[in-house]
Structure 1
Amino acid sequence: MESSDHSENIDHILKTWNFEPGRLTARIIVSSDGRDVLQMRIEMGLLQMEIVGRPDGERPYDFDSYLEYLSAQFLTEPTAPLTEDDCVEIDREFVQLYHRRICWLALREYEKAVRDADHTLALMDLCRDHSDDEEWIDSHEHFRPFVMFHRIQAKALIELEKHTPEHAIEQLTEGVEQLRTFYETEGAEEGEEFESDELHVRLIELRETLREQFDVGQTLNEQLDEAVANEHYEQAAKLRDRIHRREEPH
């Protein structure tokens, strides 16, 4: 029996970084060659991911991701069908991006979470547009609201950190409407009850928590919507001016 290389043994990591059931724990560490890597503690060990490009560090056909590779292929062959190998690689990339996205959310790296959510949504669009396998397409589309939910959350928390609670609340309202549009156009035939949908409820709860925590009444955009609905056009014009001034770079 060959002796093992102690440098490859990760017992010391697992003993000092306990797995906590029901809680996602992740961290960024510096690897032996000096690059930052992302680690996620799982029950049977840990996952290590690259922080840019594909989480597994691979460069499919010298592209940063399989999405980039396929997008380049479809520029020259727009009607080319996805092959079985393409589908396998797409599914791999979906799973990898999911793990990295939830780590970014746990670490409050919201811009990186948005980046990976956008990548996932673009991959879903590509599947929908270039596959004839409805069952395979649906297996991804089923998770679109969940990815949108993560993106909406992250965008709102970016607004909270960089701007104001009012911006975050407006971002959540905009996100709720995006989610509503998806359910109305894609999920209506399944009888989705949007108002009681868990993702919708959680976004509304976050919005109202921010409103209460930071003592925000009606936002400027909410006041504008009300003024337009009530045909108070002079007031609406003043509100538009205020919103425009607020959004101007200082």
Structure 2
Amino acid sequence: MDSSDHSENIDHILNTWNFEPGRLTARITTASDGRDVLQMRIEMGLLQMEINGRPDGERPYDFDSYLEYLQSQFLIDPTVPLTEDDCVEIDREFVQLYHRRICWLALREYEKAVRDADHTLALMDLCRDHSSDEEWIDSHEHFRPFVMFHRIQAKALIELEKHTPEHAIEQLTQGVEELRTFYEAEGMEDGEEFESDELHVRLIELRETLREQFEVGQTLNEQLAEAVANERYEQAAKLRDRIHRREDPR
């Protein structure tokens, strides 16, 4: 290559966009053809990802992702086993989606973070349902609580942006119960261990921070749960009406 050709040299990017140890730095920028792309600064350079579809821009068998390709195959024949190549591509997609998801969270693009978390969880479901390799399945299931945590966090922050702090707090409460249900179903934690689980603790801390920051006492749903638990059914009926009016203001 001609040493005067700098078209493939990214020194100018690295020199103006410093890597910061311990801090995830991402941005959306415009590629040479005008499309938006997502970039993450890493120690040895940068990662560039597509915003939609598969992060590497590939279209496996003309599908937007390998997940969509496999789902189409299982619609035809649900008994088809995953091949070794399928497993390789699934693992590639997992890693790519992880990098893009944490970038969306860093950029506060919470709806996109939820989208990629849902994609990852669907991949996990597919692995669990169509593979007989328990060790390989467990290698993904090990990360399910972490993906759920990201999704719960992002969903709550969407509620905070679009609705009210009360909605965000209720979303976090719902998410905590989803996480608890998963742990119980998998036999991963007993009650005391769940209470001290790091992901659970972080969700509770976020919920209580929002409660304190926005001066939110008991939410309507929390008041409803307490009324039902104490058999105050008339009060519970009134609270249900208030919740219904809030959710459907027509």
TM over 0.5: yes
Moved more, 188-197 or 198-207: 188-197
The CA deviation string for residues 196-238 of structure 1, in whole angstroms up to 9 with x for no partner, is 0000000000000000000000000000000000000000000
| TM-aligned CA distance change 1:91 to 1:249, over 3 Å | farther
Distance 1:136 1:240 in 2: 45
Shift of 1:187: 3.7
Paired positions, count: 250
8 Å CA contact 2:37, 2:49 repeated in 1:
yes
Distance 1:23 1:187 in 2: 34
Shift of 1:3: 2.5
Shift of 1:4: 6.0
8 Å CA contact 1:37, 1:51 repeated in 2:
yes
Shift of 1:193: 1.3
TM-score (structure 1 length as normaliser): 0.97
The CA deviation string for residues 57-106 of structure 1, in whole angstroms up to 9 with x for no partner, is 00000000000000000001101100000000000000000000000000
Shift of 1:192: 8.3
> What is the Cα-based RMSD across aligned positions, in Å?
1.4
| TM-aligned CA distance change 1:56 to 1:249, over 3 Å | farther
Distance 1:143 1:79 in 2: 26
Matches within 5 A, 1:185-196: 185-188=185-188, 193-196=193-196
The CA deviation string for residues 143-180 of structure 1, in whole angstroms up to 9 with x for no partner, is 00000000000000000000000000000000000000
Gaps of 5+ in 1: none
TM-score (structure 2 length as normaliser): 0.97
8 Å CA contact 2:183, 2:189 repeated in 1:
no
Distance 2:249 2:76 in 1: 40
Secondary structure (helix, strand or coil) at the match of 2:29 reads: strand
The CA deviation string for residues 5-49 of structure 1, in whole angstroms up to 9 with x for no partner, is 301100010000000000000000011100000000000000000
Give 1:119's aligned residue: 119
Q: Percent of aligned positions with the same letter in both sequences?
A: 91
| TM-aligned CA distance change 1:134 to 1:157, over 3 Å | same
Moved more, 10-19 or 181-190: 181-190
Moved more, 40-49 or 180-189: 180-189
Matches within 5 A, 1:77-226: 77-188=77-188, 193-226=193-226
Shift of 1:189: 7.1
8 Å CA contact 1:183, 1:192 repeated in 2:
no
Distance 1:72 1:188 in 2: 33
**Where in structure 1 do 4 or more consecutive aligned residues deviate above 2 Å?**
1-5, 187-192
| TM-aligned CA distance change 1:86 to 1:217, over 3 Å | same
Distance 1:147 1:4 in 2: 46
Distance 2:162 2:35 in 1: 27
Distance 1:73 1:242 in 2: 46
Gaps of 5+ in 2: none
